[in-house]
Amino acid sequence: MARCQTVNALVYPAGRMNVLSLREVSQLQDTSRTGLYSLFRQCSLAILSCDTELDDAHELMLLYSNFDIRIIQEHRGLQLELINAPSCAFVNGELIRGVRQNLFSVVRDILHLHTEIEAQGLHRPKEPYEITNMVFEILRHADAFRPGEPPNLVVCWGGHSIGHEEYRYTKEVGYHLGLRELDICTGCGPGAMKGPMKGGHIGHAKQRITDGRFVGLTEPGIIAAESPNPIVNELIIMPDIEKRLEAFVRMGHGIIAFPGGPGTCEEILYLIGILLHPDNQDQPYPFVLTGPERSKAYFEQIDAFIGDTLGSEAQKLYTIIINDPEAVANTMKTGLERVTRYRRKHNDAFHFNWQLKIDPVFQQPFEPTHDAMAQLKLESGLPPVELAANLRRAMSGIVAGNIKEQGVASIKKHGKFKLHGEPQLMQRIDTLLNAFVEQQRMKLPGSHYEPCYEVVTGE
């Protein structure tokens, strides 16, 4: 990828982030003690590189190795000094408003995680209720809740590496969601995360909706590989993938999954594992898998894999709709009406799903080291919820090895992750992953993909 020209600029805050304490400024500027500065700089560069076609955080940092960001605290308030920032984030010397808004979301969320939450001793919560409360607290601090508004937030999952036809389809679905006055939440990146927002924006414009929500949920390990797309008007950075996933399912009211790779498979397995819990069997949660006609085989593979590993009950938890954007939007709209009736009947909040039972195996952070990946228990005899959790962890590790800076570095140093388990199950996993590789779902189209994993299928 060609490197943009760079510019220097002073930027005033967008929103309510305008004053920091001297301690907070010191933490963000400290390059030696806390490591917060490095995280702040990397996330900020990802925001400023919103038009990038890279999905490699290390490569992005090398491309702009002389980029720096400094905080200037004046009596009038806060400023950010950008040094050698990508010029593509500016128009006539002015930082694009959406980029500026997202840039200060980075300041807000990173500081909140490393000051207030850490000060309360909640940085590494272990109990399920503590983890859920932490997710709630982060979302509330980001002003993500709209109490009293009927359920209308549709989460859209899907890969950043999809073809033109699939991307166009995600826009069509988003358009029909927008026409039905539904808001959209995605992982905030390109591909199937950008398409629904772009289409939804047009649908909102036709309905003269001027305050539509396009929420992007990300986490530090993935933001540089999936920089926020320009449509995102509410960016929220969660501390890790598990809390990001919990934020999706507790804040969202229904979910649509478009084609994707191991990351999308991870998300699908996460939600299925949660909905399989007996405590959730009566709770309506609309879940649609969809894509254009060319994606039919992809969803047949996903459906067969779920049936072979988690059983027919798991297959009943979602609806597959091929090449029919209107049907997807109508199915979701009808599903959200059921959600509304259920929440009212059980006196549950519209803005955060407190009643959804999430087993601790889906909440505890999984660190995808070589040992942790090799020791994953992958056997068909496990309870479906536990097997879904372990399959989710396997996919999460592959995502880390593909695009997360720490995971990529670990692969370079120690070689491929190795997955072991029951031979028949491992063969199914290997078949599914090979299909992702053949369909170019592991990396951006045109990129060479070198597998970061090895599935051991022998006895």
Encode pLDDT of 286-302 as tens digits.
999 999 999 999 999 99
Please, what's the b/e burial string for 289-328 (b: 16 or more CB within 10 A of its CB; e: otherwise)?
bbbbeebeebbeebeebbeebbeeebeebbeebbebbebb
* Confidence class for position 242, pLDDT limits 50, 70, 90: very high
Domains 6-123 and 130-345 share a fold: no
DSSP states of 419-435 as a string? E---HHHHHHHHHHHHH
pLDDT of the residue at 301: 94
Domain ranges of the chain: 6-123, 130-345, 364-455
pLDDT at position 67 over 80: yes
pLDDT of the residue at 387: 96
Cα 7 vs. chain centroid, distance in angstroms? 30
pLDDT of the residue at 55: 54
Pairwise CA distance, residues 163 & 211, whole Å: 30
Q: Do 196 and 230 form a contact (C-beta atoms < 8 A)?
A: no
Q: Which ranges constitute the DSSP H helices of 180-323?
A: 195-206, 220-223, 241-251, 262-275, 296-310, 312-315
Pairwise CA distance, residues 310 & 36, whole Å: 40
pLDDT at position 277 over 60: yes
- Which residue do the tokens 């939804």 mark? 200
Task: Give this prediction's pTM.
Answer: 0.91
Q: Please state the rounded mean pLDDT for residues 39-57.
A: 75
Pairwise CA distance, residues 396 & 398, whole Å: 5
* Confidence class for position 32, pLDDT limits 50, 70, 90: very low
What value, to the nearest 5°, has the Cα angle with vertex 153 and ends 43 and 286? 120
* Confidence class for position 15, pLDDT limits 50, 70, 90: low
pLDDT at position 58 over 90: no
Q: Give pLDDT tens digits for 424-440.
A: 999 999 999 999 988 88
Q: Please state the rounded mean pLDDT for residues 159-175.
A: 94
DSSP 8-state secondary structure symbol assigned to residue 362: G
pLDDT at position 33 over 60: no
pLDDT of the residue at 76: 58
Element (H or E) spanning 169, and its range? helix 164-179
- Which residue do the tokens 């060609």 mark? 2
Pairwise CA distance, residues 236 & 101, whole Å: 11
pLDDT at position 404 over 90: no
pLDDT at position 40 over 90: no
DSSP states of 60-129 as a string? HHHHTTT-EEEEEEETTEEEEEEEEEEGGGEETTEE-HHHHHHHHHHHHHHHHHHTHHHHTT-SS--SHH
Q: Cβ of 279: how many Cβ atoms within 10 Å? A: 12
pLDDT of the residue at 28: 63
Q: In CATH terms, is domain 6-123 a member of 3.30.1850.10? A: yes
Pairwise CA distance, residues 48 & 95, whole Å: 9
pLDDT of the residue at 458: 63
pLDDT of the residue at 405: 79
Pairwise CA distance, residues 105 & 232, whole Å: 12
Counting DSSP H helices and E strands in the chain, the numbers are: 18, 14
* Confidence class for position 105, pLDDT limits 50, 70, 90: confident
* Confidence class for position 361, pLDDT limits 50, 70, 90: very high
Q: Please state the rounded mean pLDDT for residues 83-88.
A: 90
Q: Please state the rounded mean pLDDT for residues 150-178.
A: 95
Pairwise CA distance, residues 173 & 258, whole Å: 10
Percent of the chain with pLDDT over 90: 62
Pairwise CA distance, residues 109 & 43, whole Å: 11
Q: Give pLDDT tens digits for 375-403.
A: 999 999 999 999 999 999 999 999 999 88
Choose between 98 and 38: higher pLDDT.
98
Nearest residue to 394 via CA among 457, 458, 306, 455:
455
pLDDT of the residue at 30: 60
Q: Give pLDDT tens digits for 172-205.
A: 999 999 999 999 999 988 889 999 999 999 999 9
DSSP 8-state secondary structure symbol assigned to residue 328: H
pLDDT of the residue at 51: 64
pLDDT of the residue at 408: 87
pLDDT of the residue at 111: 75
Pairwise CA distance, residues 222 & 405, whole Å: 8
Could you list the beta-strand ranges (E) of 116-231: 153-157, 183-186, 214-218
Least confident stretch, 11-15, 322-326, 355-359, 405-409: 11-15
Q: Please state the rounded mean pLDDT for residues 400-427.
A: 91
Pairwise CA distance, residues 447 & 268, whole Å: 25
Q: Do 328 and 256 form a contact (C-beta atoms < 8 A)?
A: yes
* Confidence class for position 109, pLDDT limits 50, 70, 90: confident
Pairwise CA distance, residues 46 & 42, whole Å: 6
What is the total residue count of the chain?
Answer: 459
- Which range, 5-19, 30-44, 108-122, 342-356, has the best average confidence (pLDDT)? 342-356
Least confident stretch, 2-6, 63-67, 240-244, 364-368: 2-6
Q: Quick one: CATH architecture of 130-345? A: 3-Layer(aba) Sandwich (3.40)
Tell the burial category of 194 from Cβ atoms under 10 Å away from its Cβ (0-12, 13-18, 19+).
Answer: buried
DSSP 8-state secondary structure symbol assigned to residue 358: -
